[in-house]
Amino acid sequence: MPRLMDIGLDKLNTLLLEMATLSESAVSASIEAYSKGGKGENVRESSVRLQSLHRQVSDLSMEVIARFQPVASDLRFIKACFEISYGFYRFGRYALDIVEVLNILGDLSRCDHKAVIETARNTQEMIRMSVDAFARRDVDLARRIRKMDDLVDESYREHVRSVLAQKKDVRCALSAALILRYLERISDHATYIGESVDYIVTGIEPSK
Amino acid sequence: MSSQGLEVAYGIYNHEDAPKAVTTGPRVDIRHLNAYYGRKQALYDVNLSVSPNQVTAIIGPSGCGKSTLIRCINRMHELIPEAQVKGQVLLIDDYYRDGIDVYGGTLDVTEVRRRIGMVFQKPNPFPNMSIADNVVAGLKLNGVRDKGRLQETARKSLERVNLWDEVKDDLKRSGASLSGGQQQRLCIARAIAIQPEILLMDEPCSALDPTATAKIEQLIDELKTQYTVVIVTHNMQQASRVADYTAFMYLGKLIEYDETTRLFETPKEQLTERYITGKFG
């Protein structure tokens, strides 16, 4: 027989899945705008919506805690909801930051996009993995995200050094460096989401 | 409320500098305990080391044996006709450093119950006695007649349970005239007046309202600085609020025993997980 608390837990799950889809598409749209010269029109809307959903997750989590005093896997799920929801919200916020770079620095179509595109490919893969790991509560997949994060960190450091070494066009170098930084932060949050999935399933806390 | 109790209960000390559990105070070591009501077995090979100066909660569904278990600790179980106990309940304290089996025949049953006090589900003050006489009833039974000592013990015990200020002007009133929560604190005062080492509590708040329950829970947290407390409760939130350690029982078996925060966050056994999340029982 379903428990009263399950209504709240199911709703939390639904909210997080909506955030996952929205944040994944916001990051994709921002990278496409960079590489193809668009303006990422829907990204701001998605980012605002993600912030609102993040608040809904926080409020609902607190309500479930206050009403049902969850324990064990229920408690771990709710604890993880805060981190996962924050991660998805941050994906959207960094996507918006990328679009802001385009708005401030203008047309970047003549820049070499290779460094950003390469890093973005890995970052987007990490986002997909974190979303799938959460949807399927897949610990193995969740644990693979951390390994990819090391790759992104390494690639970020290399690319930043190389784009800054190109002194021909400051706008290109600056935009690439900023966007690389945002992608690196997105990868970190994807890693935290993976760790939260691990915690929901196994109880192993990220710091331990 | 003692600050240490709060911090431990909230897990603030879950780091390397955390104060380690006291290991020198009086404690109980239950070994291979089996209990029966006639031919019906109620406990199956229970092994449990109760930590000194800590609160240990025993939880589980109705009929799982949790009350039987604590009633075995101070030999109350044998008061029931045809009840039997097999196994050991070792009381370990400063005098019996290697432990003495409460069923071993060396300790008189009265002495066992003096050292291991008990508070019951329903407050049970002696209705024909005054508040003060209720507190010192156990001392009088043990032959203490010194009026000054009896008065002093009554005052200290009532202070210890935070009841003194509420009753000091009318100590001759009947104990039965107090509210339910006050009666339960009176019963705890009566239990500690004879200076036990271990305090057993069998669902001490189940007949009380939330305010009275909160007072008893605060008191339990304070009492553990002096006593080792074992509490049976069907209220899991109460266990998570007051207990340092929690034991989960099911069908007469001890399924899992761990630090309370760990048992309620990451139980090891599926049975525990299912019970505490309300998926059965």
What is the tens place of the pLDDT at every residue in B18-35? Answer: 344 455 789 999 999 999
CATH code assigned at A51: 1.20.58.220
CB-based burial of residue B165 (10 Å sphere; 0-12 exposed, 13-18 middle, 19+ buried)? Answer: exposed
Of A3, A69, A75, the CB nearest to B265: A75
Look at residues B139, B118, B123 and name the one whose alpha carbon lies nearest to residue B175: B123
Instruction: Report yes or no on A114 lying in a domain.
Output: yes
Mean pLDDT of chain B: 90
B236 CB near a chain A CB, below 8 Å? Answer: yes
Inspect the interface and report whether the beta carbons of B265 and A69 lie closer than 8 Å.
no
Q: From CA A23, how far away is CA A98, in angstroms rounded? A: 13
- Mutation for testing the A interface, residue in B238, B255, B256, B279 having most A CBs under 10 Å: B279
Is residue A5 scored above 70 in pLDDT?
A: yes
Residues A189, A127: contact at Cβ < 8 Å? no
Instruction: Report yes or no on A207 lying in a domain.
Output: no
Instruction: Report yes or no on A147 lying in a domain.
Output: yes
CA gyration radius for chain A? 18
Percent of chain B with pLDDT over 90: 84
Q: Quick one: tokens of A95?
A: 């996507």
- For B51-110, the three-class secondary structure string (H helix, E strand, C coil) is CCCCEEEEECCCCCCHHHHHHHHCCCHHHCCCEEEEEEEEEECCCCCCCEECCCCCCCHH
Instruction: Report yes or no on A11 lying in a domain.
Output: yes
Look at residues A10, A75, A2, A9 and name the one whose alpha carbon lies nearest to residue B236: A75
pLDDT digits (tens, 9 = 90+) for B133-181: 999 999 998 889 999 999 999 999 999 999 999 999 999 999 999 999 9
Residues 6+ apart with CB under 8 A from B94: B26
In which band, very low, low, confident or very high, does the pLDDT at B7 lie, cut at 50, 70 and 90?
A: very low
Q: From CA A79, how far away is CA A98, in angstroms rounded? A: 30
B99: number of CA atoms within 13 Å, CB side? 14
**A69: chain B residues, CB-CB within 8 Å:** 237, 240
Instruction: Report yes or no on B257 lying in a domain.
Output: yes
DSSP label at B170?
G
B243 CB near a chain A CB, below 8 Å? Answer: no
Residue B281's pLDDT is 58
Of A3, A69, A72, the CB nearest to B265: A72
In which band, very low, low, confident or very high, does the pLDDT at A108 lie, cut at 50, 70 and 90?
A: confident
Instruction: Report yes or no on B248 lying in a domain.
Output: yes
CATH code assigned at B133: 3.40.50.300
B59 CB near a chain A CB, below 8 Å? Answer: no
Based on the structure, what is the number of domains in chain B? 1
Q: How many other CB atoms are found less than 10 A from the CB of residue A196?
A: 27
pLDDT digits (tens, 9 = 90+) for B209-266: 999 999 999 999 999 999 999 999 999 999 999 999 999 999 999 999 999 999 999 9
Q: From CA B43, how far away is CA B62, in angstroms rounded? A: 14
Instruction: Report yes or no on B100 lying in a domain.
Output: yes
DSSP label at A58?
H
Residues A196, A111: contact at Cβ < 8 Å? no
Residues A142, A195: contact at Cβ < 8 Å? yes
Q: From CA B25, how far away is CA B197, in angstroms rounded? A: 9
A66 CB near a chain B CB, below 8 Å? Answer: no
Look at residues B75, B77, B76 and name the one whose alpha carbon lies nearest to residue B91: B75
Inspect the interface and report whether the beta carbons of B276 and A203 lie closer than 8 Å.
no
B57 CB near a chain A CB, below 8 Å? Answer: no
Q: From CA B216, how far away is CA A131, in angstroms rounded? A: 47
Instruction: Report yes or no on A208 lying in a domain.
Output: no
Instruction: Report yes or no on B281 lying in a domain.
Output: no
Instruction: Report yes or no on B34 lying in a domain.
Output: yes
Nearest 5°: the CA angle B269, B276, B271 is: 30
Q: From CA A185, how far away is CA A153, in angstroms rounded? A: 9
Inspect the interface and report whether the beta carbons of A72 and B267 lie closer than 8 Å.
yes
Inspect the interface and report whether the beta carbons of A72 and B240 lie closer than 8 Å.
no
Find, in chain B, the residue whose alpha carbon is nearest to that of A67: B237
**A71: chain B residues, CB-CB within 8 Å:** 236, 240, 264-265, 276-277
Instruction: Report yes or no on A80 lying in a domain.
Output: yes
- Mutation for testing the B interface, residue in A4, A71, A79, A198 having most B CBs under 10 Å: A71
B272 CB near a chain A CB, below 8 Å? Answer: yes
Q: Containing domain of residue B63, as a range?
A: 3-276
Based on the structure, what is the number of domains in chain A? 1
Per-residue CA distances from B126 to B97, B177, B188, B191, B208 (Å): 36, 11, 13, 13, 18
A203 CB near a chain B CB, below 8 Å? Answer: yes
Q: Containing domain of residue A114, as a range?
A: 4-202
Q: Quick one: tokens of A194?
A: 């993976």
Residue A163's pLDDT is 79
Residues A74, A155: contact at Cβ < 8 Å? no
Residue B19's pLDDT is 41
Q: What is the count of residue pairs from A and B with beta carbons less than 8 Å apart? A: 30
